[in-house]
Amino acid sequence: MYCTRKVTEDIVWVGCDDRRLAMFEGVYSVPGGVSYNSYLLLDEKTVLMDTADWAVGRLFLENVTQELDGRKLDYLVIQHVEPDHSGTISDIIMRHPEVTLVCNEKTKGMLAQFYENDITERVLIVKEGDTLCTGRHTLTFFMAPMVHWPEVMVTYDSEAGVLFSADAFGTFGALNGALFADEVDFFADYLKEARRYYTNIVGKYGAMVQSLLKKASGLSIKMICPLHGPIWRENIAAYVEKYQLWSSYTPEEYGVMIAYASVYGHTENAANILACELRDRGIRTMMYDVSVTHASDIIAEAFRYSHLVFASATYNGGIFVSMEELLRDLAAHSLKNRTVALIQNGSWGALSGKMMKEILSGMKDMRILENMVGINSSVKNDQRKMLEELAEQLAESVRREKEALA
């Protein structure tokens, strides 16, 4: 049975929740599920904004059929070819052979790569600033390359003041009936997943997100309709402000995130001592065991905090495996502009600190503190003293950076 909600008088959400997906993109756990949003504009012409993943295809197609209520589908706007949004295009074409696909040139090429259908005959190519009048509404298309794929575009409906924002402003988590962000306590309950979504999905492309934000700032936006997560119609500025911080790699919290890899607990002990010393100095801390917490959560926290400490045992002559994976993932996500300290441990041939430094040195604007703390097996008085000194140095740095911001 169909399950839809009205967005405005003539725009309907026809998307679906998926709570059975374990790993989004095969990488990111989604314990709260995910929504695949699609919107149907019922103007003099009918326009479907993107489709949905095949996993929810049956309900999605039923939703579209129900809301069309016997009308033909005139246009399908394809903002993003990633299969979580294009997976049911073939089915839409089969059911609505009259449909015109509205997309850009890059999208056309990508569709041919992913799908068998010959779509050449039914494509209307649009470029930056092109418009499509559907009756009362006029849609304007803006290219948003690399937010999150090169073909991405967003669509502005000037009549309704709606920005269909593709992956931008999305969130992990099923909607659970709450289509609008103002129907939940978003900043208390959803922000963590929104940050994890942003940093892991588009975090690498901050400059492109900034460019999209600049374009959007020139529009009169009453509502943002993303492809995942709730719609924004209140307090939009607060969420845009988060996007400004994330996309400019500006920390949200001035404090220290400590990520550690410990085999028998001694590296963890060093990390705990450092955290206690920092708290004694009034500095906010957060700690993660990289063997327990998924890298996507730690990446989100690394984007959040101003200062990062990585502590790792030496393992097989290198960095402990889950720490190496985290650091390479952070580098791949192009995190920048952080102050970093290192702790290495090794019962013999300690090398993890040197190798962690090599990875971090390849990242932009990373200020790596010189005095790395070295432990040989377990923490002794000498190393405790070094951890206290490191806490003092980090605390001063946190205060200094925070003051510089004020």
The footprint of ligand FEO (CB under 6 A) covers: 80, 82, 84-85, 148-149, 167, 227-228
Nearer to ligand FEO (CB atom), residue 80 or residue 333: 80
CA distance 319 to 111: 41
Inter-residue contact 55 to 18 (CB < 8 Å):
yes
**What are the start-end ranges of the E strands in 203-252?**
223-225
Least CB distance to ligand FEO at residue 85 (A) = 6
Nearest distance from C-beta of residue 114 to ligand FEO, angstroms? 13
Phi, psi of 136 (to 5 degrees): -75, -30
Closest chain position to ligand FEO (CB): 82
- CB of 166 vs ligand FEO, minimal distance in Å: 8
3-class secondary-structure state, position 28: strand
User: Hey, which bits of 11-69 come out as E strands?
Assistant: 11-13, 16-18, 23-24, 28-29, 34-36, 39-42, 46-49
CB 84 → ligand FEO: shortest distance, Å? 5
Nearer to ligand FEO, 82 or 301 (CB): 82
Closer to ligand FEO by CB, 52 or 216: give it: 52
What is the H or E stretch that residue 344 is in? strand 338-345
Is the Cβ of residue 85 or residue 357 nearer to ligand FEO in the bound state? 85
Smallest distance from ligand FEO to CB 154, Å: 13
Q: Which is nearer to ligand FEO, 67 or 84 (CB)?
A: 84
What backbone torsions phi and psi does residue 83 show, to the nearest 5 degrees? Answer: -60, -15
Instruction: For ligand FEO, give the closer residue by CB, 149 or 186.
Output: 149
Per DSSP bridges, beta strands 318-319 and 100-103 are unpaired
Q: How many CB atoms lie within 10 A of CB 106?
A: 17
State the nearest-atom distance from the C-beta of 193 to ligand FEO, in Å.
Answer: 14
**Contacts of 369 by beta carbon, 8 Å cutoff, 6+ apart:** 339, 340, 341, 342, 390, 393, 394, 397
Smaller CB distance to ligand FEO: residue 149 or 198?
149
Whose Cβ is closer to ligand FEO: residue 228's or residue 338's?
Answer: 228
Min dist CB 109 to ligand FEO, Å, is 17
> Least CB distance from residue 229 to ligand FEO, whole Å?
10
Residues 264, 346: Cα–Cα separation, whole Å: 12
Reading phi first (left if > 0) and then psi (alpha if -120 to 50, else beta), residue 276 is in alpha
The phi and psi torsions of 297 (rounded to 5 degrees) equal: -70, -40
